[in-house]
Structure 1
Amino acid sequence: MDIKAYIASGILELYVYGSLSEKENTEVYKVLQEYPEAVKEVERIENALQQLSAAKAPEDIESLYTKVQEQIQSNNNVIPITRKRTNLPAYIGWAACIALLIGLFIQFNKNQKLQKQLVTNQIEQTLLEGKINIAEEDLSKAKSLLKILRNKDLIQVPLKAQQVDPTAYAAVYWDKNKQTAYIDVAGLPTPPPGKVYQVWSLKLDPLTPTSMGVLDTFNEDDTKIFILANPNKSEAFGITLEPEGGSESPTLEQLYTLGVVES
């Protein structure tokens, strides 16, 4: 590039005034990064504008305008106006200062919009990455559960609906060796506020219920499969609706599902 010709083209003055397009600003910025002569010229222009803007504008413009208006009203012929020497540098400095301020204001607004857009893009990217991570975690969890539930050594116990809700259903996958039970409650309705489902291990003769735990994260768990310890010699399983925190014994009027372990 012929940097002298580039400087002489006047584009750096327009750059300082803030009158260039975004694309042109980017091109000038690249030139400034590469050519120190261009940087010095920009500094020279800025200094000149500061010196010019320091000059005062005429303070008696309004009074002069009033006098001219009075003369027009009192005379129909020649208006005897004594010409005063105009402070041309002051006008130029004033105009240049205004142009510079307007350019800076426009550039500031552009930068603000770009910054807002950048923040918005960063937020959207973060949310997208979060969703992807959650999806990957859910997929990994689902695969692990499927692998466990397909274990041929698990005892599968379907829990059938009871009178309180004929549409309800659930299932228990019991690993006797590991004393662990996987409780699938996707077929149960969402518990009302202040209530939780409680899972029971039952001995049938005599009927002896033992609490395995409460499903207090029912609403938060999308899989609706809960892992509970079960060291009991279970003959059946039941699920009841209880007050928050659970109960010492099952509320039979709120028995949602029940299933017997096959011998």
Structure 2
Amino acid sequence: MNSKELIESGTLELYVFGKLSEEENKEVVSMAKNHPEVQEEILAIEQAVINLSQSVAPHLSVTNYEKIRKKLLAKNDAISINRKPSWTNYAGWAAAAVFVIGFGLQYFKLDESKATIDKLATEKSIMQESIVDLEFEKQEAEKVLAIVRDNNNIQVALGGQEIAPNAYAKAYYNKETKEVYIDASGLPIPPEGKVYQVWGLKLEPLTPKSIGLLENFTANNTKVFKVDKAEDAEAFGITLEPAGGSVSPTLEQLYTLGKV
């Protein structure tokens, strides 16, 4: 095999990448010593590999880069030729570099697209939760409006008492169905371990009957509570009681009171 055939055979590329047998390596070294064009081709291939490594892996440290460079250049003892290699020598390597860089860009774009899709999915989930919350609030508001607008409901104003003169509440009492709704928006948030208890009262003689607790006070955004039915109530009162309620009202903790 002459030098031209050797150059065109692709054997020199395999030599640079260390893929030849020991015997084949000796043959290439011998040809390189006797044929300067073979030596130039080897140097051109090695330089192209170094340039490609540098262009597609810019994060490679200087120390590692130099180790690779020295290892490649130390594979033979030939003197470097300053003649600029032909562009045809680099055509294959340039194509490989373009492919690698193009593949990297596509992977980056794919990863970026996935992140965008994940972000949009999260935003969609949050938006759906907000829509559900708004729908729930709308339904609660519609219930309150229905109670207020019902002509069968009597509105009973419950004024603040000595312990809380600024407190107030409203009772919506349907004398036909005996249903009672309490608007407690004028009551302060109960202390921890305490709960408001609603009483239906008969006045003569004074007879209180518990008709429910205003539980989960803070969580109720409308502060409108449905309590138990009140049979022929003549007044309503709200006291502050220990959690779980009391058998009879604690009059020292009477917050609001109103007559039907």
1:89-146 deviations in Å (ceiling 9; x for gaps): 9987666555544433332232222112112212222322332333233223323322
Amino acid at match of 2:70: E
Larger Rg: 2
1:198 maps to what in 2? 197
The 8 Å contact of residues 16 and 72 in structure 2, kept in 1 or not, is answered as: no
1:141 matches 2:149: no
Secondary structure of the corresponding residue to residue 186 of structure 1: coil
1:156 maps to what in 2? 155
The 8 Å contact of residues 211 and 230 in structure 2, kept in 1 or not, is answered as: no
Q: Provide the aligned length of Structure 1 versus Structure 2.
A: 195
Call closer, same or farther: CA 1:190–1:64 in 2, change over 3 Å. closer
**Unpaired segments of 5 or more residues in structure 2?**
1-12, 19-45, 47-68
More moved, 116-125 vs 168-177: 116-125
Deviation at 1:186, TM superposition (A): 0.7
Distance, in Å, in 1 between the alignment partners of 2:80 and 2:146 is: 103
1:236 maps to what in 2? 235
Distance, in Å, in 2 between the alignment partners of 1:242 and 1:55 is: 91
1:50 maps to what in 2? none
1:103 maps to what in 2? 102
1:177-233 deviations in Å (ceiling 9; x for gaps): 112101000111112222221111112233222111111121111111111222322
Distance, in Å, in 2 between the alignment partners of 1:64 and 1:227 is: 86
Amino acid at match of 2:112: K
Percent identity, please: 43
RMSD: 3.3
- TM-score normalised over the length of structure 1: 0.62
Call closer, same or farther: CA 1:101–1:254 in 2, change over 3 Å. farther
Equivalence map 1:108-257=2 (5 Å): 108-257=107-256
- TM-score normalised over the length of structure 2: 0.63
**Unpaired segments of 5 or more residues in structure 1?**
1-53, 72-79
Amino acid at match of 2:241: E
Distance, in Å, in 1 between the alignment partners of 2:171 and 2:188 is: 17
Distance, in Å, in 2 between the alignment partners of 1:57 and 1:99 is: 21
Distance, in Å, in 2 between the alignment partners of 1:186 and 1:211 is: 20
More moved, 118-127 vs 155-164: 118-127
Distance, in Å, in 2 between the alignment partners of 1:55 and 1:240 is: 94
Amino acid at match of 2:171: V
Distance, in Å, in 1 between the alignment partners of 2:247 and 2:198 is: 12
Secondary structure of the corresponding residue to residue 185 of structure 2: strand
1:62 maps to what in 2? 70
1:81 maps to what in 2? 79
